[in-house]
């Protein structure tokens, strides 16, 4: 169903997009969609975060809905069965909370805590059932969400998902070292790392349980499909960098495309913003071409066989959801309290995070 062009939170208000961040082509050519299960999704994910003790109760009550994590997922995996979308939304909420823990570990110099968490997440990814009662809620919550995701498709999909997320964990470790050492990666190095810290291939993998079909390698690796998927995620990552730049400069960050451009290409702040925006806009235009190629590929694999029809239908559903990611990401960045840095008491410390030492000691 098409969503209203205003906030999906419980108290809808008109969304005002700053001119510097406005993308008229998204607002006109990418109609916003929202899964009809969204209201229940928001409630159930909030309860899951509380049950798993991933955020203090007071912060959940005050901030969870306004962070709009479920809105983002409900606007992307629009055709997913309700139980699949619920598992994805819970996993996504966990991912944002993990990202916050990673940030606080860096800010407070908790190298030992981060190293232990990194190792435990690797272990939980390979054997989630054995980590459901782990004393660190972040490990136990991860195990719960991963175990549920592993229940939708065959073992081969689970193994691929695990392989991709092991790479994400290692990329977060690389970012930890970069930030604690004050190392700003060059532009190409940053872009390669960003594909993992943004979990490009995780969100693409999750298209398949949403469509109820694991795609064979020959389909997933087809250049038309892979290019459309990559452009979807590049747009999301770079638009995130564009919107996050004020927050990350305030927090003395080193991981942002704009910061790499300023440091290594000699751009001014204004020029860097213009360059990131140019890349974002190019992603949109390139996706429109890639989308057509991917849909032609979907037509080509509908060869009259039952399997061909199933794969073609799943591929079309996945490409449709790739398109949804553009509008979902765009509006998320203007509705979520995660990016409303001007309203924070301390621009370097998000009010929704737990700023004390977290996890098992």
Other CB atoms within 10 A of residue 134 CB: 17
Check residue 1 and give its pLDDT: 35
Average pLDDT rounded to a whole number, residues 336-347: 83
| Whether the model pTM is above 0.85 | yes
Average pLDDT rounded to a whole number, residues 118-142: 98
- Output the six-digit token pair for 186: 């060059």
Catalytic residues: 95-96, 198, 338
Helix/strand/coil (H/E/C) assignment for every residue in 46-96: HHHHHHCCCCCHHHHHHHHHHHCHHHHHHCCCCCCCHHHHHHHHHHHHHHH
Average pLDDT rounded to a whole number, residues 298-306: 93
Tens of pLDDT, residue by residue over 72-114, are 999 999 999 999 999 999 999 999 999 999 999 998 999 999 9
Query: What percent of the chain shows pLDDT beyond 90?
Result: 83
Residue 5 has pLDDT above 70, yes or no: no
Where does the chain have alpha helices with state H? 24-29, 38-51, 57-67, 69-74, 82-107, 111-126, 137-149, 155-181, 187-197, 200-205, 207-211, 217-220, 223-250, 257-265, 269-301, 306-335
Check residue 356 and give its pLDDT: 63
Please, which pLDDT band fits residue 15 given cuts at 50, 70 and 90?
A: confident
Q: How far is CA 247 from CA 11, 139, 190, 197, 316, in A?
A: 25, 27, 18, 17, 37
Please, which pLDDT band fits residue 8 given cuts at 50, 70 and 90?
A: low
- Identify the weakest region by mean pLDDT among 24-38, 287-301, 330-344: 330-344
User: What is the chain's alpha carbon radius of gyration, rounded to the nearest angstrom?
Assistant: 20
- Identify the weakest region by mean pLDDT among 1-5, 183-187, 207-211: 1-5
């Amino acid at each position: 169903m098409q969503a209203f062009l205003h906030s999906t939170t419980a108290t809808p208000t008109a969304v005002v997009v700053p001119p510097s961040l406005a993308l008229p082509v998204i607002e006109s050519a990418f109609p916003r969609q929202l899964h009809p299960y969204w209201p229940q999704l928001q409630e159930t994910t909030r309860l899951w975060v509380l049950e798993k003790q991933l955020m203090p109760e007071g912060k959940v009550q005050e901030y969870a809905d306004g962070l709009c994590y479920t809105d983002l997922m409900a606007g992307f995996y629009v055709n997913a069965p309700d139980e699949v979308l619920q598992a994805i939304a819970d996993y996504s909420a966990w991912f944002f909370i993990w990202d916050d823990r990673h940030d606080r570990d860096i800010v407070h110099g908790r190298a030992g805590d981060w190293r232990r968490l990194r190792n435990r997440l690797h272990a939980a990814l390979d054997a989630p059932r054995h980590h459901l009662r782990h004393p660190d809620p972040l490990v136990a919550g991860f195990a719960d969400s991963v175990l549920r995701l592993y229940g939708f498709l065959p073992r081969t999909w689970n193994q691929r998902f695990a392989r991709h997320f092991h790479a994400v964990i290692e990329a977060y470790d690389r970012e930890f070292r970069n930030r604690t050492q004050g190392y700003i990666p060059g532009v190409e190095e940053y872009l390669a790392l960003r594909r993992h810290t943004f979990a490009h291939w995780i969100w693409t993998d999750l298209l398949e349980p949403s469509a109820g079909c694991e795609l064979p390698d020959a389909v997933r690796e087809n250049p038309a499909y892979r290019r459309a998927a990559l452009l979807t995620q590049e747009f999301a990552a770079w638009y995130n960098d564009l919107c996050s730049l004020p927050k990350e400069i305030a927090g003395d960050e080193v991981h942002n495309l704009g910061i790499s451009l300023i440091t290594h290409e000699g751009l001014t702040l204004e020029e860097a913003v213009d360059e990131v925006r140019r890349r974002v806009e190019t992603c949109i235009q390139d996706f429109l071409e890639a989308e057509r190629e991917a849909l032609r590929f979907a037509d080509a694999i509908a060869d009259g066989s039952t399997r061909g029809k199933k794969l073609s239908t799943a591929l079309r559903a996945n490409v449709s959801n790739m398109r949804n990611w553009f509008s979902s990401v765009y509006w998320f960045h203007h509705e979520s309290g995660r990016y409303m840095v001007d309203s924070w008491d301390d621009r370097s410390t998000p009010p929704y995070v737990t700023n004390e030492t977290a996890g098992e000691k």
